[in-house]
Amino acid sequence: MINFWKAVTLLSAVIAAAQCLTCRQCPVGIFGTCLLGSDVTCNNATESCYRGEAQFNATGTLTLHTRGCLDSDLCGKTLTGSILGAGYTSSFQCCTTNLCNGAGSVQISVIAALCCAVLASSLGGTWEL
């Protein structure tokens, strides 16, 4: 009987963990580069990961990118407004699987390791990664 309750407890924990969505979070990105990005586990009320763009009307060419968790009610929407008198348009594209809104931080580590390997080989030394 004890094994039965252990199994029920474990199954409940697995189901609860599976329902939490993990998304790539990027508070601000410019020219395709995310500044201060990380992975975040969304709360149970958040149903989607998103990629968003905000374009300021005055600049026309500067587009800011964001990523994170979002309530599905805002998915596919385009919003307009103004900040300090500058008009902007923002849009949100959503998806519903783990890390579907962008690359994880693991790729940055791989790129850094490759750069170190190339640098080490060009210096003629032997390095272990």
pLDDT at 10 over 50: no
pLDDT at 3 over 90: no
pLDDT at 52 over 90: yes
Domains of the chain: total: 1
Quick one: pLDDT band at residue 115, thresholds 50, 70, 90? very low
CATH code for position 16: 2.10.60.10
**Domain range enclosing 73:** 2-103
**Does residue 123 form part of some domain?**
no
**Does residue 120 form part of some domain?**
no
Output Rg (C-alpha) for the chain, integer angstroms.
Answer: 21
**Does residue 36 form part of some domain?**
yes
> What does the pLDDT look like over 53-81, one tens digit per residue?
999 887 667 788 999 999 989 999 999 99
**Does residue 46 form part of some domain?**
yes
Who's near 81: CB < 8 A, 6+ residues apart?
87, 88, 90
**Does residue 12 form part of some domain?**
yes
